[in-house]
A and B are shown apart, each in its own frame.
Chain A
């Protein structure tokens, strides 16, 4: 039994070394190039890092969501993209995610996904053509998503909120 425990410990130690090596290699690009994906403390810091001239932020939020964003992620390469996550007050899981990315590039995947689409409609968002989707997340929660283009960027707001609140948040980002 003693030999077995010793061998198991050796295996776990070896695996921990492998994990440490993986983390070290992962750290290198962020050390060498400042515009790779990273977390930021403020929207202004994210703007400077991503090269996005103007980051649109909602001024309307459903009551249960908190400000400031629970997470601000931004990258300049391989293409400019910014993600703002908002959690429910006192919570940690993202309830609203605002994504802005360079048009013509693949949509960055967000934390909130729609596994089952129930309805998709075209919507005029202050004169912009938008697509509003309502459905269920993989966990069965009600999820809404709205996507539109604005200049050089595409925007998406996904949230575990009602479509009405989602549209209000989107409209608050636009003049």
Chain B
């Protein structure tokens, strides 16, 4: 279960609870390349942005009506952050499933909050060697062109949080990427930061964000490191179901044996084999259905900044 430390929770709460501003689900998108901050409105959804000014560097809509947009943050000629957004168009039903990265077991953080055949919410933290390897989003390719034209310096390695939230009315996936340094605080705090950003992205899908408020930057939050949780497997429930099923079946088994044979000892011995082996068969069957049968919507991959790796390593 994901937890945010009390200090982190208070920090995020204080920064997000600001002077009252009117909520407006119809906040118009600013012109391309003009700096923006706070919350980005895109296709009937809100996407929270980290603190500071962000500039649109790439913007495309594909043939399926999916909007791809890349924003970058630049300080002293160096790109210090990137946000990549994928959003379904208004009225376009989403059938994205979960982000494939949410099912990986080699990442420092990967969690699925919920998933079904019509919605899902998951997030993961990864590293990216940006720009040269692996599949890249067309909007990111366009952004690289913009970055090159303006002669901005681009980090070669990123730490990224990827959040995907979908329901029957739409879907949004957000990649927040920050330069991967040897700053242990950034590496350790990013999973904790992800929880707060994840909550905000979920609220943004329902247009419940204050348009003027930003997410805090990672590194400003001291959160404990997280163990990877691949999610998707309801192990505790499967175990409980095994126990209750075994209790019912063994009772019936023993009773029918006792009635047929008339000897309690013999009946118990006959039931013993099933009692020893049956629970493992049931549990394996239950886990297989949880894993392979969890959703009928295939997980659709949406390319990002480059190939996403599991191990957080510093720049070479």
Asked if chains A and B come from one complex, the reply is no
Please list the residues of chain B having a beta carbon within 8 angstroms of any beta carbon in chain A.
Answer: none
Please list the residues of chain A having a beta carbon within 8 angstroms of any beta carbon in chain B.
Answer: none
